[in-house]
Amino acid sequence: MPKDDIKEFRLVGTRPNRPDGLDKVTGRARYGADITAPGMLWGAVLRSPHAHAKILKIDTSKAEALTGVKAVVTRADFPTGLTGEEWNLQENTMAGEKALYDGHAIAAVAATSSLIAQEAVRLIEVDYEVLPHVTDVDDAIKPDAPVIREGAADASVPEGMPPNVVKYFEFGRGDTAAGFKDADLVMERSFKTEATHQGYIEPHACLGQLGADGKGEMWVCTQGQWFIRQMCSAVLGLNAAQLRVTPSEIGGGFGGKTTIFMEPLSLALSQKAGGRPVKIVMSRSEVLRATGPTASASMDVKIGMTKDGKLTAARAEFRMQGGAFPGAPVDMALYCCLAPYKIENVEHIGYDVLANRPKCAAYRAPGSPMGAFAVESLIDEMCRKLDLDPMEVRLKNAVREGDQASYGPTFGSIGLVEVLEATAKHPNLSVPLGPNQGRGVASGYWFNHNGETSVSMAISEDGTAQVSVGTPDIGGSRASIALMVAETLGIAYEDVRVNVVETGALGVNEPTHGSRATFATGKAATIAARAAIKEMCRRAANEWGIDEEAVEWVDGAAQPAGPNAGDYPPMSIKDIAKNMGSTGGPISGHHESVPDGVGASFGCHVVDVEVDPETGLTKILRYLVVQDAGRAIHPSYVEGQYQGGAVQGIGWALNEEYVYGKDGRLQNPIFLDYRMPVASDLPMIDTMIVEVPNPGHPFGVRGVGETGITPPLPAIANAIQGATGVRMSHLPMTPTKVLAALKASQE
Amino acid sequence: MSKIHVTTVVNGDEVEFLADPRETLLDCLRDHLGLTGSKEGCGTGDCGACSVTVDGVLVSSCLMLGVEAQGKRIATIEGMANGEELHPLQRQFVEHAALQCGFCTPGILVAAKALLEKNPDPTETEVRYWLAGNLCRCTGYDKIIRAVMDAASEMRGAA
C-alpha cells in the first residue's frame, strides 16, 4: 500500500518541497569548492606515477624558489610514531618510504594562485626506485606476489598465509558437508567483480587553516565533519577540540566522503605558510586515482538445493583487495551474501588482500553487492537447472522475524517476505518478453546503522523550531528530519529549520553513512523535540498552578488533562515561546546516544534486458525496485534512494571498472573512460515502497540508502542468462565480454 | 604569464575581468566573477556540471577559455530565475524531488532550458539524449526526466 494513502500521521509520509531546494536550483548552495577566504592560498599535490616505488629523494628547492609559492610539505613535515589505522591514514595522505599506488601523494604545495601551485608541483624532483607491483586480487594473493608491506597482517591471519593477506575471516554454523549431501543439486561457481568508484560529481574540496598555536578551522565537503576532525587531528598530531570543521553542502558521497584524503595537507600547508588558509580542490583524475574506490573481488560459492527449491547448505569463500591498506569489506560481503536465506549449514571464509591500488573507502552497502552477485547468480542458475521459479525459491527460503541470520544474530522485525510477495504481484513480472530479451530477479540486504548521534532542538521566540544536526544532508535528510520534528511538536513543516552544524556546536556525530541519518538523527531529533514538549508542558503547568503531570501536548499546544481537563484554554507553542524569557528562559531539547533499535532492510529487484546478439550490448528495458523502508518519511526521497542505488548498480554491472595497465597505472581516470550511466542508457526506474515499520524508531524508519545497490549486479546477470542462455560471471558485463561469451557458447 | 582584459555580458550585466590565458571560462566565472553556481565535476567536458550558454549555444564552460568570452553573451544558472520568480524548470525540479545532492542540478537546469528553447515538446527519449551529457550520480535520472517533461508541458500551456 503506498504510504501516501495512510493518514496515520499529519505530516510524516507527505512530500513537501525540501527546505534547501531553492538554494540548490538557483546555484546559491555552497559546496566544497565554492568558498574563498581572505589571504587564501591554493594547494596542489604531486602524485606518484608509479604503482610501487621506493622514494629515494625529494628535491623541492625549485618549487620553493618559484615566485608565489608559500609552502611545500612532504611526509617529513608530519609527526612520526603513529600506529594502526592512524598510521594507515597518514601513509595514505602522503607517502613515506614508498609510493604504494599510482596517484599516491608525494608532496604538496601552497601558492598564491592555482596555476602557480600546479607549476610548482611540476618543479618538484623525485628519485624513485621502481619496484615490482601487483594490482589484481588473484595475483596479489599468490605466495610469490610482490610484498606490499611486511608485517601488515593482523592476528586473524594464520601462519603460512601468502604475504599480502592481512585479515582472515572464517565463520559459520551447522554441518555443510551433511547439508550438501541432503541436496539434490550442488553447484559451485567462481565470480569476479572489478573495483568501481562512488562517482560523486563533486570532487573533494576543502579550505583549511591552521595556526602555529595549533588552532585550526576547515570548510570541507564531507559526509562527517567529526570524522574529518578526528582523522586530521590524528594524522597531524593536533588537539581535536582545537580544530573546528564545518561541512559544506555535499555533492554526493555514497560512502566515499567518510574519510580523509587531502584535508590534512591543506592544514599542514597552512601552518607552514604562516596560518594563511589553503584551498585544495581535486581534479577528477585525482579523485579516481587517489581517493577511495571500492574493492575488487574474486569469489567462490557452493550451494546445495533440493529439487523443490529448499537450500540445504552454502559455502562462500571471498578474496578482496582494497588497495595498499587493510580494510576491503570482505567481512561485510560475507555477512550480507546469504542473509536473505534461512539455511542451517553455512560456511564463510574471507581474505583481505593488499594490492598496489588506492585505499578503498566505503561505497553504498560496502561488500554487499559483490557477495550478492556471487550468491544470487548461482541461486538463479540452480533455479533454471531445476526448472524452479526464482521468486518462489526466494520466498520458500526467506528469513523471517526470529530466524537466525546466516552470519549469526537473530533477526528482529524484518520485511523480506512482504517485499517478495509485493514483487511477485507487480505488473512488470507479467510483461511478455520478446526475442533476445530476458528477465532477472535478485534480492539484497543491508544491516542499516545507528552510530554516535547528538542533536539539539531549540524553540525560537515565535514558536518555530530550529534543529541542529551533525549529519550532512546528502539526499534530502533536512526534509525528513523537519517532517519528524514538526509532526512531534504539532507545528507546520515550514516552521522547522534543520541546520547541519559544525563540530563546535554538538557532541560527536558519526557521518551520514550506513543509511543512518533518517534513522539515528531522526530518532534523536524526535526525542529532543519530546524533551522540549515536556519543558513546555511544565511552563504551562506552572502558569496554571497545576501539576506538571496533568498537562498534555495536543496539536502544538499544552492543555490541562485528567481532573483539570477544560479548566484552562490550551496554551499554544507560540504563547509559551513568546513568554519563555520570563517563565524560566530558553526552551530546548537535546538528545545524544547511539540509538538502539536499528531495523535491517531487504529489497528485491526485477529487470528486463535485451541483448543485441551482434554487438553484445545489454539494454535495460524495464527496472523495478521493491524495498522495505520501514516507514517512508518523505516518499519522494525514498524513491530517489531506490532509483539512485539501482542505477549505480546498473553501472557496476554493465560498464564501470578500474582498468589498470601492465605498468600498474590507472588507464581510465576521466569520466569519458570511466563511464557511468547517462540518461539515455536508462528507462524510468519503477519503485514500490514496502512498509513494515521498524519498532525501534518512533516513526518506524529503517534506513533506505544502501540496500538498493546490491541486487542490480546479479539481477542483470540473471536477465542476461535469460536473454542469451549465457552465464556471465565477471563484471562488468561489457558488450565485448558478452559478445565473447556468446561466441564461446556457440562453438 | 600576463593577463588579458576581457569584457563580456553575463546574465545581462556587462562585466570585465583579467584572465590568465590558461584559465577556462568556468575558472573565470567562479574565481573572478564569484558565480559559483556553475560547477566543475570533471574538467574534461564529460559531466555537464559547468553547462552555460554562450550566445545562446549550450557549452561546457570548462572546455572554453575565459578569454574567448570577449564580446559574448553568457547565461549561467544565476540568471535563470526572474528575480524571485523561479523558471518553471527550477520549480518542477524542487517539486519532483529531482535533486538529491544538487551538485549537478545547475548544469542540468541550464541544459534543459536550452533544450526547451529549441524543442518545446520533446519526447522522453529526446530529453534523455539531450541530457546524456549531464551526469547525475544520485537520482538515476527518473525524477529529472519527469521534471523536465512537466516543465515543458507547463511552459507550452502558458504560451
* Cα end-to-end distance, chain A, whole Å: 49
Chain B touched by A421 (CB under 8 Å): no
Which strands, in side-by-side order, build the sheet including A125-130?
A: A98-99, A53-59, A125-130
Distance from B157 to chain A by nearest Cα, in Å?
22
Among candidate residues B79, B105, B135, the one where a domain is terminated: B79
- Asked if B105 and B152 sit in the same domain, the reply is yes
- For A625-672, give the DSSP string: EEEE-SS-SSHHHHHHHHHHHHHHHHHHHHT----B-TTS-BS--STT
- Asked if B64 and B115 sit in the same domain, the reply is no
Rounded to 5, what percent of chain A is helix, strand, coil? Answer: 30, 25, 45
Among candidate residues B59, B79, B99, the one where a domain is terminated: B79
Check whether A3 has a pLDDT greater than 70: no
- Asked if B25 and B52 sit in the same domain, the reply is yes
Closest-approach residue (CA) in chain A for B81 = A26
Chain A touched by B18 (CB under 8 Å): no
Nearest CA to A280 out of A500, A73, A101, A90 is that of A73
Region of residue A446 (left: phi > 0; alpha: psi -120 to 50; beta: else): beta
In this structure, what C-alpha cell is assigned to residue A170?
572464517
Note the pLDDT tens digit of each residue in A710-727.
Answer: 999 999 999 999 999 999
- Asked if B97 and B148 sit in the same domain, the reply is yes
Amino acid at B140: G
Residue A144: DSSP 8-state: T
Residue A166 near residue A145 (C-beta atoms within 8 A): no
Supply the pLDDT for residue A5: 45
Supply the pLDDT for residue A101: 98
CA distance A379 to A381: 5
Chain A touched by B11 (CB under 8 Å): no
Mean pLDDT of A358-366: 98
Closest-approach residue (CA) in chain B for A204 = B41
Give A503's Cβ-side CA count (13 Å radius).
26
Give Cα B91 to chain centroid, integer Å: 16
Which residues of chain B neighbour A640 with C-beta distances below 8 Å? 97, 100, 138-140, 143
Work out the angle at residue A568's Cα, subtended by the Cα atoms of residues A567 and A570, and round it to the nearest 5 degrees: 130
CA distance A424 to A478: 34
Note the pLDDT tens digit of each residue in A404-433.
Answer: 999 999 999 999 999 999 999 999 999 999
CA distance B133 to A678: 7
CA distance A407 to A412: 14
Which numeric CATH code is attached to A410-448+599-746? 3.30.365.10
Check whether A2 has a pLDDT greater than 50: no
State the total domains in chain B. 2
Which residues of chain B neighbour A670 with C-beta distances below 8 Å? 42, 44, 46
Chain A touched by B148 (CB under 8 Å): no
Supply the pLDDT for residue A1: 37
Fold category of A21-29+450-593 in CATH: Aldehyde Oxidoreductase; domain 4 (3.30.365)
* CATH top-level class of A32-132+200-290: alpha beta
Closest-approach residue (CA) in chain B for A635 = B97
- Asked if B29 and B70 sit in the same domain, the reply is yes
A354-393 residues touching B, CB cutoff 8 A: none
Amino acid at A460: S
Share of chain A above pLDDT 70, in %: 99
CA distance A156 to A169: 7
**Residue B1 or A600, more confident:** A600
Supply the pLDDT for residue A747: 83
Chain B touched by A691 (CB under 8 Å): no
CA distance B36 to A29: 9
CATH number at residue B74: 3.10.20.30
Distance from A116 to chain B by nearest Cα, in Å?
10
The residues near A467 (Cβ < 8 Å, ≥ 6 apart) are A455, A456, A457, A481, A482, A485, A496, A497, A498, A499, A525, A528
Nearest CA to A573 out of A461, A418, A666 is that of A461
Within 10 angstroms of residue A41's Cβ, the number of other Cβ atoms is: 29
Note the pLDDT tens digit of each residue in B58-75.
Answer: 999 999 999 999 999 999
**Domain range spanning residue B74?**
4-79
Region of residue A675 (left: phi > 0; alpha: psi -120 to 50; beta: else): beta
- Asked if B68 and B95 sit in the same domain, the reply is no
CA distance A552 to A274: 58
Residue A543 parent element (H or E)? helix A522-544
Note the pLDDT tens digit of each residue in B114-133.
Answer: 999 999 999 999 999 999 99
CATH number at residue B150: 1.10.150.120
Chain B touched by A201 (CB under 8 Å): yes
- Asked if B12 and B68 sit in the same domain, the reply is yes
B102/A30 touch (CB, cutoff 8 Å), yes or no: no
**Could you tell me where the beta strands, DSSP code E, fall in A363-520?**
437-446, 453-459, 465-469, 496-500
Check whether A562 has a pLDDT greater than 90: no
Supply the pLDDT for residue A654: 98
Residue A185 near residue A305 (C-beta atoms within 8 A): yes
Q: Of A516-530, A556-570, A599-613, give the lowest mean pLDDT range.
A: A556-570
CA distance A15 to A482: 12
Q: Of A147-151, A225-229, A502-506, give the lowest mean pLDDT range.
A: A147-151
Sign, Cα dihedral of A225, A231, A237, A240: positive
Check whether A136 has a pLDDT greater than 80: yes
Q: Do domains A21-29+450-593 and A32-132+200-290 have the same CATH topology?
A: no
Among candidate residues B17, B52, B79, the one where a domain is terminated: B79
- Asked if B19 and B64 sit in the same domain, the reply is yes
Within 10 angstroms of residue A547's Cβ, the number of other Cβ atoms is: 12
B39-68 residues touching A, CB cutoff 8 A: 39-44, 46-47, 49
The mean of the pLDDT values for chain A is 97
Nearest to B20 among A115, A281, A639 (CB): A115
CA distance B154 to B147: 10
Nearest CA to A504 out of A467, A451, A454 is that of A454
CA distance A24 to B87: 13
Q: Where are the domains of chain A?
A: 21-29+450-593, 32-132+200-290, 410-448+599-746
Supply the pLDDT for residue B1: 67
Radius of gyration of chain A (CA): 27
Q: How sure is the predictor about A563, in pLDDT bands with cuts at 50, 70 and 90?
A: confident
Nearest CA to A137 out of A101, A165, A160 is that of A165
- Asked if B71 and B98 sit in the same domain, the reply is no
Supply the pLDDT for residue A8: 83
Supply the pLDDT for residue B159: 57
Share of chain A above pLDDT 90, in %: 98
Distance from B28 to chain A by nearest Cα, in Å?
12
Supply the pLDDT for residue B63: 98
Q: How sure is the predictor about A685, in pLDDT bands with cuts at 50, 70 and 90?
A: very high
Partnered with residue A411 across adjacent β-strands are none
Residue A293: DSSP 8-state: -
- Strand A311-321 versus strand A345-353 pairing type: parallel
Radius of gyration of chain B (CA): 16
Distance from A19 to chain B by nearest Cα, in Å?
10
- Asked if B75 and B94 sit in the same domain, the reply is no
Phi, psi of A688 (to 5 degrees): -140, 120
Mean pLDDT of A3-26: 86
Note the pLDDT tens digit of each residue in A188-205.
Answer: 999 999 999 999 999 999
